Amino acid sequence: MNILVTGGAGFIGSHTLIELYKAGHTAVVVDNLSNSNPESLRRVAEIIGVPEIPFYQVDIRDCEGLEKVFSAHRMDACIHFAGLKAVGESVEKPWEYYENNIGGTLVLVDVMRRHDCKNIIFSSSATVYGDPVEIPITENCPKGQCTNPYGWTKSMLEQVLMDIQKADPEWNVVLLRYFNPVGAHPSGRIGENPNGIPNNLMPYITQVAVGKRKELGVFGNDYPTPDGTGVRDYIHVCDLAAAHVAALQCFSQSPSHSVTQTHIYNVGTGNGYSVLDMVKAFVRVNGVDVPYSIKPRRAGDIATCYCNPAKAKAELGWQAKYGIDEMVRDSWNWQRQNPEGY
Ligand code: NAD
Ligand code: UFG
């Protein structure tokens, strides 16, 4: 298939491009580079062994720009990563988040349907479950109250895409609810490249390890978890990338199979690790020190979040292959080789 990858220069998008090409697909990337560097695409091409990845520096809110891309390429499907994703920033700038993430997706979907491309995989998030009513979380777990505008954009966009699919069954919609992506391509050539102070645990750990930050603040050690620190379902980004390729099979099933159905999958490993589990694994596997101190809880955090990934295994034949050791090894390998990012 030829796949439009929005946000393809970013962390998860760049890793997904590699898995797509490995599986024999081709891709066209649209990204406005608001949170990425085109060097990632150059390195992806190098890893795959192609001269270049077709790339358009276009904002998904730019209808004319997208029209040109669709006129130049026949697309079979879209994997839609483009969006703003900083939880804290979304609280400060809710309008910008709703406008970019929701406004952008509405424009994208409109252009797609005009070009008769009605297959979309959307990057959703475990955040749509809010404080989950069951652990491990299955896809039947009801959605919950999000604690920030970023989370609401994901929850609302799921609804928007489901409604569009219901009204026009020619649409095939796949919602992938990611748990906590970490790690990097084992080559160390591409990885997560946050701007400024990292919000997320793993890039903070790697920046402490490489000497860019003094110590990790552990946000709370009084949660009802085995060691008191928050528990999450960390997933290697290469496993997450492979889940997108597996999900493409939803588009080749007979139309009768997918009528009035949106496919929803949790994408995690099913294992919960605490903040201190991650720190200890990082130190053990990489032989580097990660000083930390306990800080107050971070507003909006929940105690425990991990999934039951059985549905993706049963229906897509996908399951995570990498464990915690590979996650911390590859995160460090990327950071060590690229202390300043791209
Ligand atoms: P990222 O910021 O590295 O990648 C997103 C890309 O989208 C960036 O390259 C950015 O420049 C681009 N972009 C943003 N707005 C755009 C616009 N209007 N037009 C065109 N391009 C635009 O983030 P990521 O970690 O790779 O996340 C990819 C997707 O997965 C996002 O939708 C994110 O919300 C979702 N997600 C991420 C996580 C996570 O922890 N990383 C967890 C759950 C869901
Ligand atoms: N944490 C720290 N110190 C830090 C950063 C994080 O102790 O400096 C802790 C948090 O309190 C939490 C755990 O590490 O217990 C993971 O925190 P992250 O910020 O890495 O991840 P979250 O689970 O809070 O959220 C992430 C993404 C969201 C996404 C969610 C579910 O940031 O966008 O995973 O996919 F919605």
Please identify which of the residues 56, 129, 150, 265 carries the catalytic annotation: 150
Measured in angstroms, how far is the CA atom of residue 174 from the centroid of ligand 1? 17
At 206-251, the pLDDT tens digits run 999 999 999 999 999 999 999 999 999 999 999 999 999 999 999 9
The two beta strands, 77-80 and 2-6, are parallel
Asked whether 123 lines ligand 1 (CB < 6 A), one says yes
Residue identifier of the C-alpha nearest atom 3 of ligand 2: 218
At 25-82, the pLDDT tens digits run 999 999 999 999 999 999 999 999 999 999 999 999 999 999 999 999 999 999 999 9
Ligand found nearest the CA of 39 = 1
Question: Which atom of ligand 1 lies closest to the CA of 82?
Answer: 7
Nearest Cα residue to 21 out of 43, 35, 3, 9:
3
Measured in angstroms, how far is the CA atom of residue 21 from the centroid of ligand 1? 20
Asked whether 269 lines ligand 2 (CB < 6 A), one says no
Cis status of the peptide bond prior to 136, with omega within 30 of 0 = yes
At 185-212, the pLDDT tens digits run 999 999 999 989 999 999 999 999 999 9
Mean pLDDT throughout 131-154?
97
Query: Is 292 designated active site?
Result: no
Asked whether 104 lines ligand 1 (CB < 6 A), one says yes
Neighbours of 159 (CB within 10 A): 12
> d(Cα 53, Cα 59) in Å, to the nearest integer?
18
Asked whether 219 lines ligand 2 (CB < 6 A), one says yes
The model's confidence at residue 260, banded by pLDDT at 50, 70 and 90, is low
Q: How far is CA 46 from CA 18, 39, 40, in A?
A: 10, 11, 10
